[in-house]
């Protein structure tokens, strides 16, 4: 007697079950924009093929598009079977999804199901997951108590927060998630400009981070603006941050200049990029001030340039934003520099001595 293959199951809540793998069958560009955490990309149509089928659908007719699309899908699934799935065991149980839970994911799921594997399809596809993210990203931030770390540009807030995290504190590093340092010159740089993630992927990462936190412990976060580079914070998180108590770090301007020269050393090697970025400040600072900065850069007087742009632009701008958005400053702590000993002394004042024990007990 021939055994029947298992029935394909459907879910709208994939996060409630564990799968052998999560397979995203969308095109590489769709996958790059955002995906379910942990998913792998096994496209049944690549970007060029998807565009080809779409063009035929619109310019010829849907029937011809389906014939050509089916041939391409069959070819690509065959390739995946001979490579990725070749060594999968009998108890292999994948979750499969595409954009809307339509033909692309069903084609893959049907073939895997006929082989004998138990396959789950995400009903509604990636769009179902995206609705979940949007709901959670507006609700979850409300469940936490935040401590906001403030301080003028160059005070080492991000550096201090990462030291806090090493001590066991819950830290929401928004700049790391956004791949941007939150200012005009804040684009991350690793030999070349490193692009920011899409808004969707930023929210996916943010949700993952929030879901890892314990609501019984405070979450430390930097006094960011509503927008980090090109990315926006969820409204619920932004409002909670503005309502939270703040700790302000005071660092002398000489130490801030020294720290910024270290952090933005790549711009010293690319003065043309630095000057191009500064041009965006012409409306608020004027051409006279820009030309003064250009001259300092050309003369390799970067220390004087950093000090002047702090005093003339960054410090006044930051002070206004702090007064507007983060007015609940409960403590002001002075730090002479950002040496390890200075930061350790600061953290001794900010964090409970038994934070590791608290983390273990609450987890």
Q: How far apart (Å, rounded) are the C-alpha atoms in residues 242 and 225?
A: 10
**Two structure tokens written together for 340:** 């390890």
Pairing of strands 227-228, 231-232: antiparallel
Q: How far apart (Å, rounded) are the C-alpha atoms in residues 43 and 24?
A: 7
Q: Of the listed 98, 246, 284, 285, which one is catalytic? A: 98
Give me the half-sphere count of Cα atoms (radius 13 Å) on the Cβ side of residue 359. 16
Give me the half-sphere count of Cα atoms (radius 13 Å) on the Cβ side of residue 329. 19
Beta strands in the chain (DSSP E): 9-11, 21-24, 40-41, 94-97, 120-122, 146-151, 170-172, 219-222, 227-228, 231-232, 245-250, 329-334
Note if 284 is an active site residue.
no
The answer to whether 137 and 199 are in contact (CB under 8 A) is no
The interaxial angle of helices 340-350 and 157-166, nearest 10 deg, is 70
Show which residues are catalytic. 98
């Amino acid at each position: 007697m021939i055994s029947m293959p298992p029935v394909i199951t459907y879910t709208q809540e994939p996060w409630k079950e564990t799968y052998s793998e999560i397979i995203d069958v969308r095109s590489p560009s769709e996958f790059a924009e955002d995906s379910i955490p942990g998913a792998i990309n096994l496209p049944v149509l690549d970007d060029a093929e998807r565009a080809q089928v779409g063009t035929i659908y619109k310019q010829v007719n849907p029937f011809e598009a389906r014939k050509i699309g089916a041939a391409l899908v069959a070819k690509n699934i065959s390739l995946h079977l001979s490579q990725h799935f070749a060594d999968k065991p009998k108890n292999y149980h994948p979750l499969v999804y595409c954009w809307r839970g339509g033909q692309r994911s069903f084609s893959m799921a049907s073939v895997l199901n006929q082989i004998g594997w138990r396959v789950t399809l995400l009903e509604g596809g990636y769009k179902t997951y995206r609705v979940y993210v949007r709901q959670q990203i507006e609700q979850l931030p409300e469940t936490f108590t935040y401590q906001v770390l403030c301080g003028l540009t160059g005070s080492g807030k991000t550096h201090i927060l990462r030291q806090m995290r090493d001590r066991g504190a819950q830290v929401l590093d928004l700049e790391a998630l956004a791949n941007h340092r939150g200012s005009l010159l804040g684009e991350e740089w690793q030999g070349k400009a490193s692009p920011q993630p899409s808004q969707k992927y930023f929210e996916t990462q943010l949700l993952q981070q929030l879901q890892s936190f314990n609501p019984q412990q405070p979450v430390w976060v930097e006094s960011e603006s509503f927008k980090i580079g090109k990315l926006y914070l969820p409204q619920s998180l932004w409002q909670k941050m503005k309502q939270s108590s703040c700790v302000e770090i005071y660092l002398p301007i000489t130490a801030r200049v020294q720290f910024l020269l270290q952090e933005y050393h790549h711009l010293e090697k690319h003065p043309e990029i630095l000057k191009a970025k500064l041009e965006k400040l012409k409306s608020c600072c004027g051409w006279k001030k820009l030309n003064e900065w250009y001259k300092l850069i050309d003369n390799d007087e970067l220390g004087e340039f950093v000090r002047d742009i702090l005093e003339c632009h960054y410090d006044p701008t930051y002070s206004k934003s702090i007064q507007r958005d983060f007015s609940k400053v409960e403590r002001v702590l002075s730090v002479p520099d950002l040496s390890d000993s200075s930061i350790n002394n600061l953290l001794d004042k900010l964090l409970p001595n038994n934070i590791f024990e608290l983390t273990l007990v609450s987890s």
